[in-house]
């Protein structure tokens, strides 16, 4: 399926809003993913039509704008935000600055209204028999992800169920006290749960209370479908769905109940044993800081205090990237899977040198966070160089590179450090092509400026009046003026060092410099002209990446 086919699906104006316009209509959609657990946003694959509920941002304090940037880097095909927890305008306002991304954003963002459910969206995209299968697969995946995360609370379990079925759900204790009551935001009915009627039904016959099958209570034109939460020799309570049309909805409710009840039982038993950890883990907290998914500084401070991650500290990020030697494409963006034993060995060696550094592993490599001390930058580079030498000695079938950020303070600015290190690895590996393997951002900051202004007419003009003239001259005259300029810049226009490096006489170099001045119209003895030519070379490096 392609984006243009997705857009052609008929929705009423009240159901859907397309937020942006600059994207490839012929881009393929390979699969549909419904995400309800925040950490799974990091694992989303390319060419996915991603569906999320807006409460994933609100409840988990995630920044929508930064999340969209992250998904753009993941190369998804489309994003659908289902607003069945708050008005559509709330999300629209949260993304009011999306125009900033429009030039780089390569997927459409759909905002679905409160009347639209995941099942409704999926069933319009793929055939009905496959839609149900897809729907249940995604529900099971999210439920298992929830179980394996630090979000595995009863509130979140029932919220997930509520999102998928768009129906009220009640959790009763064994004595019929209400433990949890969850309903869709648009459900404004002030219903009184018929506890007495439910109690009478289930206690009128001992077999009812201890039955493994569902029981049904009709009250106020609604059906209360009760499923027992059974373990051997004990009933922990009841899961109750509230339906308006029993016959039409019972099949899907039965299937969902069979999937979710074991997870509810696990949660109850775990919670009663006091083993539930309600706070976000430190790893997840750091993940979200690095990806810029938090927006509330007070929340960051409070969470950092709980996790013993001090708010006011100077930190920088360095990323260790592993490259298989047999992979001739040494590009940072290549997604070669590294075997676990190699990843673990690399991590062990790195941690032996930097035991105090906190780390996480993502698709960019091993991401380390280090406290900035008084170590000079040159010493720091030497230490990283020794690490790479050690890694290549003990793991000779792989090569390694490191991207280093500037330092930032406080910790809510870690997202900038992460972006620095990612950019350094990406651009450094492309520009230096194996001649270097350590890329400090401070050495590449000018490249970052040019990269962000690639389409600016001033950048193009500088290139045209400097390097383009030299390239054209070299082609027409079989000359080496561009290479000569590169060497001169590398050695800060030192005549002796440049001539020795190119194995030419000083007089020959002077003649080439005169020719460079004639071709470009800029006197190389002028420091401002030299700076302009250096800038032209860096623009040339950036332009070369897209060829």
- The CATH number of residue 172's host domain is 3.30.450.240
Answer yes or no: are the C-beta atoms of 68 and 109 closer than 8 Å: yes
Report the alpha-carbon distance of residue 435 to residue 177 in Å, rounded.
70
pLDDT, tens digit, for every residue of 42-95?
778 889 999 888 777 766 666 777 788 888 888 899 998 887 555 555 555 556
Q: Is the residue at 133 inside a domain?
A: yes
In a domain? residue 516 = yes
Q: Is residue 339 part of a domain?
A: yes
Is residue 188 situated within a structural domain? yes
The series of mean pLDDT values per 10 residues for the chain, 547 residues long, is 85 78 87 78 84 74 77 89 62 56 75 77 79 81 81 82 84 79 78 81 61 79 90 83 81 87 84 42 81 82 84 95 72 66 91 90 90 89 95 94 96 94 92 88 91 88 95 94 94 94 94 95 93 93 78
Q: Which domain holds residue 475?
A: 457-545
d(CA 514, CA 519): 9
Pair 370, 259 in one domain = no
CB 290 within 8 A of CB 319: no
Residues 170-208 pLDDT 10s: 988 876 777 888 887 677 787 888 887 887 777 775 555
- 446 in any annotated domain: yes
Do 199 and 126 lie in a common domain?
no
**Residue 474 Cα to chain centre, angstroms:** 44
Report how far residue 217's alpha carbon sits from residue 242's, in angstroms, rounded to the nearest whole number: 10
User: Are 250 and 304 members of one domain?
Assistant: no
Nearest to 64 by CA among 294, 227, 373: 294
**Number of domains into which the chain is organized:** 4
205: in domain: yes
Query: 241 and 390 in one domain?
Result: no
Pair 94, 8 in one domain: yes
Same domain, 290 and 435: yes
Does residue 362 share a domain with residue 307?
A: yes
Please tell me whether residues 174 and 76 are part of one structural domain: no
Q: Are residues 112 and 161 in the same domain?
A: no
- The domain boundary residue, chosen from 122, 147, 172: 147
Asked if 82 and 193 sit in the same domain, the reply is no
Domain end position, chosen among 119, 147, 175: 147
Residue 277 lies in a domain: no
Residue 93's pLDDT is 58
pLDDT of 58 reads 66
pTM here is 0.54
Domain match, 447 and 350 both: yes
């Amino acid at each position: 399926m392609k984006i243009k086919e997705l857009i052609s699906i008929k929705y009423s104006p009240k159901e859907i809003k397309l937020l942006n316009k600059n994207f490839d209509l012929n881009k393929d959609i390979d699969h549909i993913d419904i995400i309800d657990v925040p950490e799974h946003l990091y694992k989303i694959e390319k060419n996915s039509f991603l569906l999320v509920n807006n409460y994933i941002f609100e409840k988990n304090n995630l920044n929508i704008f930064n999340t969209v940037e992250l998904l753009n880097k993941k190369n998804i095909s489309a994003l659908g935000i289902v607003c069945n927890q708050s008005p559509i305008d709330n999300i629209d306002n949260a993304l009011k600055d999306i125009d900033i991304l429009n030039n780089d954003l390569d997927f459409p963002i759909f905002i679905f209204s409160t009347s639209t459910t995941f099942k409704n969206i999926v069933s319009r995209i793929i055939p009905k028999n496959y839609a149900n299968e897809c729907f249940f697969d995604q529900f099971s995946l999210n439920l298992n992800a929830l179980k394996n995360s630090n979000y595995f609370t009863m509130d979140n379990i029932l919220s997930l169920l509520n999102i998928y079925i768009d129906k009220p759900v009640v959790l009763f204790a064994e004595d019929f006290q209400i433990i949890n009551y969850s309903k869709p935001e648009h459900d404004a009915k002030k219903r009184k749960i018929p506890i007495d009627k439910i109690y009478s039904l289930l206690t009128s016959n001992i077999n009812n209370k201890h039955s493994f099958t569902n029981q049904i209570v009709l009250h106020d034109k609604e059906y209360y479908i009760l499923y027992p939460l059974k373990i051997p020799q004990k009933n922990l309570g009841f899961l109750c769905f509230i339906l308006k049309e029993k016959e039409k909805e019972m099949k899907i409710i039965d299937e969902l109940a069979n999937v979710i009840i074991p997870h509810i039982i696990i949660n109850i038993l775990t919670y009663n044993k006091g083993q539930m950890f309600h706070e976000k883990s430190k790893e997840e907290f750091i993940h979200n800081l690095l990806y810029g998914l938090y927006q509330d500084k007070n929340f960051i401070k409070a969470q950092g205090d709980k996790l013993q991650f001090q708010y006011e500290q100077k930190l920088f990020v360095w990323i260790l990237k592993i490259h298989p030697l047999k992979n001739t494409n040494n590009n940072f963006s290549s997604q070669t899977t590294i075997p676990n034993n190699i990843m673990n060995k690399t991590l062990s060696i790195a941690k032996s040198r930097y035991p105090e550094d906190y780390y996480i592993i993502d698709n960019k490599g091993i991401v380390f966070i280090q406290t900035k001390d008084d170590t000079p930058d040159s010493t720091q580079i030497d230490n990283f160089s020794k690490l790479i030498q050690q890694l290549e000695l003990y793991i000779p079938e792989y090569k390694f590179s490191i991207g280093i950020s500037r330092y930032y303070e406080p910790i809510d600015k870690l997202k900038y450090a992460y972006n620095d290190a990612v950019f350094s690895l990406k651009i450094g590996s492309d520009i230096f092509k194996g001649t270097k393997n350590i890329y400090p951002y401070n050495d590449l900051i000018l490249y970052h400026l040019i990269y962000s202004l690639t389409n600016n007419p001033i950048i193009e003009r500088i290139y045209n009046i400097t390097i383009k003239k030299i390239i054209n001259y070299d082609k027409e005259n079989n000359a080496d003026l561009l290479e000569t300029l590169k060497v001169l810049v590398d050695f800060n226009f030192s005549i002796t060092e440049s001539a020795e490096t190119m194995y030419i006489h000083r007089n020959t170099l002077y003649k080439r410099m005169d020719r460079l001045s004639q071709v470009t119209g800029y006197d190389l003895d002028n420091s401002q002209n030299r700076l302009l030519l250096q800038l032209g070379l860096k623009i040339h490096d950036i332009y070369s990446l897209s060829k």
